[in-house]
Amino acid sequence: MSIIQIAEKQFHLRGKDFSYVFGADHFDYLSHKYYGSAISEDADLRYFYRSHVYNDYTAHIPGVRDRFSSIYPEYPVANYGEFRDYAICVEDSRGCRVTDLHYEGFEILAQKPAISSGIPTARGGETLVVSLFDATLSLRVKLYYTVYEEENIITRRAEIENCGKDPVKLLRALSVSLDFYDHDFNVLTLRGGHHEERHECLTPANYGKISVGNCRGNSSHQHSPFIALLRPNVTEETGDVYACSLMYSGSHYECAEVDQYGKTRMMAGIQPETFTWKLESGERFETPEAILCYSNEGLGKMSRSYHDFYRNYVINPNFVYRPRPVVLNSWEGMHFNFDNKRLLAAIDAVKGSEIDTFVLDDGWFGARNNDKAGLGDWFVNTEKLPGGLKEISDHCHEAGMNFGLWIEPEMINPDSDLYRAHPDWIISAPDRKPVLSRNQCILDLTRRDVLDYIKNAMHRVISESGATYIKWDCNRHMTENWSRLLPADRQGEVQHRYILGVYELATYLTESFPEILFEGCSGGGGRFDGAMLKFFPQYWTSDNTDANDRVEIQYGTGLCFPLSTHSSHVSASPNIRNGRSTSVRARTNIARQGVLGYEFDPLRVSEEELSTIAENIKKHRTTEKLILEGDLYRRENRLHGNVMSQTVVSKDKNHAMMVFYQALNPHNGDLIARAAGLDPEKHYRIEELDMTLRGSVLCNVGIFLERMPGDFDAVLFTLNAID
Ligand code: GLA
């Protein structure tokens, strides 16, 4: 049993190794009591009650001394007795922005109810729904807590219903708020940019607020929808971590605020700066879902908990543990410079190289000869491809390969027939020139007509293409946030309505083509978030394919998202972005830490290189199951030193893959690669060294490595238990 009612209005949520306790106090404010390592199920924490008021404003009023005693509210309100950041702010029809929520009741549901707005949520079981009510506003807030008995995860979301007669406006509706009694934490967030997605950013919590997020209408490269509080002693193996991964793909907000009393509040949800939502009488609003993880064994256990959770409860079960195609993507090798002859020759060239899917990236439709034109015109460019996509996909099949295709359904170039026919279909401000980014605008997916058009266009393209793999790209962010069809008092809804449109489109296409593997992409690895993983079992991790940079990008991505979601391609050296030369060994071994693929021009690759590729793909197939199903144990972290090493271990501890990466080659010193996560008692055969060592030796003593021949190199060892 994972949801326990300990006493009247008091709840204990019990997951694998943790407890989360909260309940209504005697003024019926819902208050947080405890979150951490598991405690006894019958512990009644009502005694754990602070009587001092949060501020002085009401302390002098007889009988009201305790009125604002809920200094650890589960869902803090705006403008009614405290000054910290809040989860909800509602404006009534008189312009008053006060909310006051009291406990109303609860129910326990055996199955998590479906969400009606279409926001992706995790699959899940037992759910506690606690209702809070504001009698003055006639507003009901339902807090959903889904508990996973065998996981270290709780999910939380809120649902807000206007039960009154007059409309109200939500000015803020976050998904989660968590209060802590102190501020002895470091705050971990994942910052980034194009070519440097999800880099660890660690800041000591201190008086004031650390907040991240964005207003870009896209979860973005800049800040991942993720935040964690780490006790100062946290390592890969030790210390308490409280993490939150928000399943949302639009503008988001995460913060950690330390107040005047040294208490910390961590929150996450839709970015309030770019959000308002009008609720007519009887209407409801659903927030995205936040995935909370508690680890009492450092960052390593946090990552493994998230990986298991995303694999088992979010990613499409039809694909999650299925071996993935090793694709050759045309982008880095050919960009827009192709026609059917070149593509057919390219396919012939890689025949027999173990590459099993040829992906035609950008440039196959409309007047798309560069990135200035054609987006929106989803018709094959018959000058380049006179035989259509069918000729290309048929040729792939004849060569024993599958065919994959790139699309960017949400976007439009002003230089396109679609734009000329429907200039009003874009998101832009009235009476102003539209802002262009990468020469393109965003289609207004808040509109039913636009959404239906693009659904049909994409359905037709995919049906006719013969593709088994689709790469869905999204190459710009939203600035003007205005839609022609919405009334003035609903313009604050544009960004959220847009992302609901994206979810509807993604649901429609993935359900229409259940056997097609969709890979997500957004100018590289922007919009790589938990909600997108519901549609895309794998995601293009970054446009930066340099092995050295990928070590850091894949580290940050792997903090939360399973390795089987990291689409990782070997590309040509020197790298087209930064000119860095790396060995094919380094590029392959780093790409093998995710879903291996390739980016090169087959017409410029020698026979010898192709046979190396074939050999490497065969090796990858021997360790792929670990990427799909295994547990990640990190050791050295490249962000803090010259080397990175990690071991991916099968659940039964019988198989593992260890990678050791070194950036600069030092003059002196021994290179020692130590494994992690192995069974200390088992003997493991190290296939590449023809040597057998016990798990305890591999993890503690390690393997002495040969001096590396140059900079930026990586070695990989396959370990198989023999007893
Ligand atoms: C984005 C993607 C690339 C490629 C190009 C095509 O930048 O991240 O992989 O698909 O678009 O325009």
> What DSSP assignment string belongs to 296-335?
SBHHHHHHHHHHHHIIIIIS-TTTTTSPPP-EEESHHHHT
Note the pLDDT tens digit of each residue in 593-634: 999 999 999 999 999 999 999 999 999 999 999 999 999 999
Pull the structure tokens for residue 79: 């403008």
pLDDT above 70 for 11: yes
CA 51, 54, 56, 58 dihedral sign is: negative
- Of 45-49, 364-368, 505-509, 620-624, the one with minimum mean pLDDT is 45-49
The rounded distance, in Å, linking the Cα atoms of 129 and 244 is 20
Predicted pLDDT of residue 670: 87
Predicted pLDDT of residue 205: 98
Could you identify the atom of ligand 1 that is nearest to the CA of residue 406? 10
Of 331, 334, 532, the one to substitute when testing ligand 1's pocket (max ligand atoms within 8 A of C-beta) is 331
The rounded distance, in Å, linking the Cα atoms of 67 and 385 is 72
Note the pLDDT tens digit of each residue in 255-271: 999 998 899 999 999 99
Centre of ligand 1 from the C-alpha of residue 337, in Å? 14
Asked whether the beta carbons of 204 and 197 are under 8 A apart, the reply is no
Pull the structure tokens for residue 311: 């694999």
Question: Position of tokens 């021994």?
Answer: 670
Nearest to 470 by CA among 246, 628, 588, 319: 319
CA 32 to chain centre: 27
As a whole number, mean pLDDT of residues 702-722 equals 95
Torsion of CA 108, 109, 112, 117, to 10 degrees: -90
Q: Which of 543, 549, 601, 631 is catalytic?
A: 543
Could you identify the atom of ligand 1 that is nearest to the CA of residue 524? 8
As a whole number, mean pLDDT of residues 85-97 equals 97
The rounded distance, in Å, linking the Cα atoms of 73 and 143 is 12
Q: Are strands 168-180 and 88-91 parallel, antiparallel or unpaired?
A: antiparallel
CB 526 less than 6 A from any atom of ligand 1: no
N-to-C CA span, the chain: 37
pLDDT above 90 for 421: yes
CB 408 less than 6 A from any atom of ligand 1: no
Centre of ligand 1 from the C-alpha of residue 474, in Å? 8
- The Cβ of residue 488 has, within 10 Å, a number of other Cβ atoms equal to 7
| Proportion of the chain above pLDDT 90, given as a percent | 91
The rounded distance, in Å, linking the Cα atoms of 322 and 675 is 26
Q: What is the pTM of this model?
A: 0.97
CB 440 less than 6 A from any atom of ligand 1: no
The rounded distance, in Å, linking the Cα atoms of 119 and 147 is 19
CB 599 less than 6 A from any atom of ligand 1: no
Angle between helices 340-350 and 388-398 (to 10 degrees): 10
Protein residue closest via CA to atom 12 of ligand 1 = 362
pLDDT above 50 for 19: yes
Torsion of CA 308, 221, 245, 553, to 10 degrees: 40
Of 406, 410, 439, 545, the one to substitute when testing ligand 1's pocket (max ligand atoms within 8 A of C-beta) is 406
**Single-letter amino acid, residue 202:** L
Centre of ligand 1 from the C-alpha of residue 35, in Å? 42
**Angle 261-266-270 (CA atoms, 0-180°, nearest 5)?**
135
The rounded distance, in Å, linking the Cα atoms of 156 and 229 is 17
Centre of ligand 1 from the C-alpha of residue 609, in Å? 25
Predicted pLDDT of residue 51: 43
* Beta bridge partner(s), residue 568: 596
Centre of ligand 1 from the C-alpha of residue 369, in Å? 14
Protein residue closest via CA to atom 7 of ligand 1 = 523
671 φ, ψ (degrees, to nearest 5) = -100, 120
Centre of ligand 1 from the C-alpha of residue 519, in Å? 12
CB-based burial of residue 201 (10 Å sphere; 0-12 exposed, 13-18 middle, 19+ buried)? middle
Predicted pLDDT of residue 28: 87
**Which band of pLDDT confidence, cut at 50, 70 and 90, is reported for residue 43?**
confident
CB-based burial of residue 486 (10 Å sphere; 0-12 exposed, 13-18 middle, 19+ buried)? middle
Centre of ligand 1 from the C-alpha of residue 29, in Å? 50
CB 332 less than 6 A from any atom of ligand 1: no
Q: Which of 473, 546, 631, 713 is catalytic?
A: 473
Centre of ligand 1 from the C-alpha of residue 473, in Å? 7
CB 695 less than 6 A from any atom of ligand 1: no
Note the pLDDT tens digit of each residue in 464-509: 999 999 999 999 999 999 999 999 999 999 999 999 999 999 999 9
Protein residue closest via CA to atom 11 of ligand 1 = 523
170 φ, ψ (degrees, to nearest 5) = -80, 125
The rounded distance, in Å, linking the Cα atoms of 292 and 363 is 41
Protein residue closest via CA to atom 4 of ligand 1 = 331
The rounded distance, in Å, linking the Cα atoms of 139 and 77 is 12
Task: Share the mean pLDDT of the chain.
Answer: 95
Of 470, 473, 545, 567, the one to substitute when testing ligand 1's pocket (max ligand atoms within 8 A of C-beta) is 473
DSSP, collapsed to helix, strand or coil, labels residue 687 as helix
The rounded distance, in Å, linking the Cα atoms of 188 and 619 is 35
Of 543, 553, 568, the one to substitute when testing ligand 1's pocket (max ligand atoms within 8 A of C-beta) is 543
pLDDT above 80 for 48: no
Predicted pLDDT of residue 638: 79
Could you identify the atom of ligand 1 that is nearest to the CA of residue 371? 12
CB 66 less than 6 A from any atom of ligand 1: no
CB 699 less than 6 A from any atom of ligand 1: no
**Which band of pLDDT confidence, cut at 50, 70 and 90, is reported for residue 220?**
very high
As a whole number, mean pLDDT of residues 15-21 equals 97
- Assign 3-class secondary structure to 40-90: CCCCCHHHCCCCCCCCCCCCCCCCCCCCCCCCCECCCECCCCCCCCCCEEE
Note the pLDDT tens digit of each residue in 521-536: 999 999 999 999 999 9
pLDDT above 80 for 459: yes
Q: Report the length, in residues, of the chain.
A: 723
Predicted pLDDT of residue 61: 46
- The Cβ of residue 559 has, within 10 Å, a number of other Cβ atoms equal to 23
- Residues with Cβ within 8 Å of 456's Cβ and at least 6 positions away in sequence, in order, are none
**Single-letter amino acid, residue 492:** G
The rounded distance, in Å, linking the Cα atoms of 388 and 143 is 52
CA 243, 230, 308, 593 dihedral sign is: positive
Nearest to 569 by CA among 598, 547, 544: 598
Protein residue closest via CA to atom 6 of ligand 1 = 362
Note the pLDDT tens digit of each residue in 118-142: 999 999 889 999 999 999 999 999 9
Catalytic residue status for 543: yes
The rounded distance, in Å, linking the Cα atoms of 653 and 721 is 8
Predicted pLDDT of residue 70: 55
DSSP, collapsed to helix, strand or coil, labels residue 173 as strand
| pLDDT higher at 247 or 42 | 247
Domains, the chain, ordered by start:
3-312 (2.70.98.60), 327-627 (3.20.20.70), 634-721 (2.60.40.1180)
CA 167 to chain centre: 34
Could you identify the atom of ligand 1 that is nearest to the CA of residue 522? 8
Note the pLDDT tens digit of each residue in 139-160: 999 999 999 999 999 999 999 9
Note the pLDDT tens digit of each residue in 52-75: 445 444 444 445 444 444 578 999
Question: Position of tokens 């293409």?
Answer: 465
Centre of ligand 1 from the C-alpha of residue 439, in Å? 14
Asked whether the beta carbons of 333 and 600 are under 8 A apart, the reply is yes
The rounded distance, in Å, linking the Cα atoms of 164 and 281 is 6
Nearest to 266 by CA among 274, 278, 258: 258
CB 331 less than 6 A from any atom of ligand 1: yes
CB 475 less than 6 A from any atom of ligand 1: yes
CB 523 less than 6 A from any atom of ligand 1: yes
Predicted pLDDT of residue 58: 47
Centre of ligand 1 from the C-alpha of residue 361, in Å? 8
The rounded distance, in Å, linking the Cα atoms of 349 and 459 is 31
CB 362 less than 6 A from any atom of ligand 1: yes
Nearest to 585 by CA among 714, 467, 698: 714
CB 361 less than 6 A from any atom of ligand 1: yes
As a whole number, mean pLDDT of residues 310-326 equals 98
* Beta bridge partner(s), residue 77: 88
Centre of ligand 1 from the C-alpha of residue 362, in Å? 7
Nearest to 245 by CA among 214, 275, 223: 223
The rounded distance, in Å, linking the Cα atoms of 322 and 314 is 15
Protein residue closest via CA to atom 1 of ligand 1 = 523
Question: Position of tokens 């973005």?
Answer: 220
Question: Position of tokens 């949302």?
Answer: 248
